[in-house]
Amino acid sequence: MERTCIVTREAKPKEQLLRFVVSPDGVLTPDIDNKLPGRGIYVTCSRLLVAEALAKKAFQRAAEGPVSLPTDFLNRLEGLLALKVKNALSLARKAGQVISGFEKVEQALKHGKVAALIHAPTAGADGLKKLRSDAVPSFQSLPREWLNEVTGRENAVHIAVLEGPAAGFFIETARRFALFLE
């Protein structure tokens, strides 16, 4: 199902857009899970385009009335998206679909069991090159502290999400977060 971005005026699949609703008291609210009641206002999943919508008062025009914004709106939105990715990774780990460590990840890649790769932002270029795979999406936007917390390791640098039911959810949420940060 496609919706139109209020900034670019382009029709896009809902997966490429962020949904916002206006609460009954007039506050603009991000609808990260696309479940809140009310008329949706859509912006392409990009921090820059959300900032442009705020600057041009596009949310007020789309809502056809005044809209108030919480303080530090963009950072809160980024935090919500990042938390969703962290929770998706945590669910994959609880499902037994997450492994960490260079050697384990390398072996899983060789056996074709990897659905997604995650590298800490501090990962070395050599390790990234050795674990590169065109067939597997790779993400490097999650803070190392989160990777440590989710995996239970002190220095998680390379992580693989293995194929299985939780992998699709993780990949979808991580892609949206990466789009937002671009």
pLDDT at residue 182 above 90? no
Q: Which domains does the chain have, with CATH numbers?
A: 2-70 (3.30.1230.10), 78-181 (3.30.1330.30)
Q: What is the reported pLDDT for 133?
A: 84
pLDDT at residue 11 above 90? yes
Section 11-30 average pLDDT: 95
Section 101-120 average pLDDT: 93
Section 50-57 average pLDDT: 96
Q: Are 171 and 38 in contact (CB under 8 A)?
A: no
Q: What is the reported pLDDT for 70?
A: 86
Q: What is the reported pLDDT for 154?
A: 85
DSSP label of 173: H
Q: Are 39 and 87 in contact (CB under 8 A)?
A: no
Give residue 78's pLDDT band: very low, low, confident or very high (50, 70, 90).
very high
Among residues of the chain, what percentage have pLDDT more than 70? 100
pLDDT at residue 150 above 90? no
Q: Are strands 138-139 and 114-119 parallel, antiparallel or unpaired?
A: parallel
Give residue 29's pLDDT band: very low, low, confident or very high (50, 70, 90).
very high
pLDDT at residue 134 above 90? no
Q: Are 177 and 81 in contact (CB under 8 A)?
A: yes
The DSSP annotation for 161-179 comes to EESSHHHHHHHHHHHHHHH
pLDDT at residue 53 above 90? yes
- What is the rounded radius of gyration, in angstroms, for the C-alpha atoms of the chain? 18
Burial of 59 (0-12, 13-18, 19+ CB in 10 A): buried
Q: Are 174 and 116 in contact (CB under 8 A)?
A: yes
Helices first, then strands: H and E counts in the chain:
7, 9
Predicted TM-score (pTM) of the model is 0.88
Q: What is the reported pLDDT for 40?
A: 95
